[in-house]
Amino acid sequence: MNEERLRDAWEALRTRRPSEALAILEALEETGRPGYDGRLHAWRAEALEALGRLDRASAEATRAIRIARAAEDADALNAFRALNQRILASLAAVQLAEQERKKDAHLADVDEAQLIAGLDGPARAAALTRRAQALIDAERRAEAVEVARRAFGAADGDPREQVLALLCETRAEPDRALLLLARAHAVADAADDPNLIAAVARAARGVGVRLPSPEFG
């Protein structure tokens, strides 16, 4: 029965239904069999990562690593370490983004034309998104919306900058969060980028939005 449920969880992960996968995995317990227990924790980590719950995802990946190390399973150990490194990289990116936002407070009052002079494509979009974030923090949301939309247009098809611009607009317009997050998720999903998908999931959880796509249950 446990093996069957574990396979169900894997199928949910494979088809990008992390909420469903996590619900299954949370109901399962360790069996004392390293192969099973390692996968249980690793797949919990993957589901949590997709849902933007990175701290707990890393804890689950670390548990999987310990099990594989104790079992001297080199292949599993390498796979679980790679998973945890990816999660830790996402955590670091989140922390860095928060630090950068604090540094960017002055951008609310800069001359926008000067800010983006000489910048094109994703670089211009990134600068505009940073300014929009600063405007939100300064409680100038209407201005932030316009700047975030310009950032999306300047992204020139770059999925990362498109998603970041949409997430910024979501912060500025929480009443439109469902629509904006759905758009951001569509871009991240098309790019097949787990970091972007996780970023959208974190944003959705942060504003209490439950997206209708399978990825978010």
Cα-Cα-Cα-Cα torsion 143, 176, 190, 97, nearest 10 degrees, comes to 50
**pLDDT grade for 145, boundaries at 50, 70 and 90:** very high
pLDDT tens digits for range 106-119: 999 999 999 999 99
Domains assigned to the chain: 2-95 (1.25.40.10), 110-216 (no CATH)
Which position has the token pair 């991240």? 188
**pLDDT grade for 25, boundaries at 50, 70 and 90:** very high
Weakest-pLDDT range from 16-20, 55-59, 189-193, 211-215:
211-215
Section 127-155 average pLDDT: 96
**pLDDT grade for 211, boundaries at 50, 70 and 90:** low
Please indicate, yes or no, whether the overall pTM of this predicted structure exceeds 0.75. Answer: no
Question: Long-range contacts for 36-39 (Cβ within 8 Å, ≥24 apart)?
Answer: 36/2, 36/3, 36/6, 37/67, 38/64, 38/67, 38/68, 38/71, 38/73, 38/76, 38/80, 39/6, 39/10, 39/64
Section 132-138 average pLDDT: 94
pLDDT confidence of residue 95: 79
pLDDT confidence of residue 215: 39
pLDDT confidence of residue 16: 77
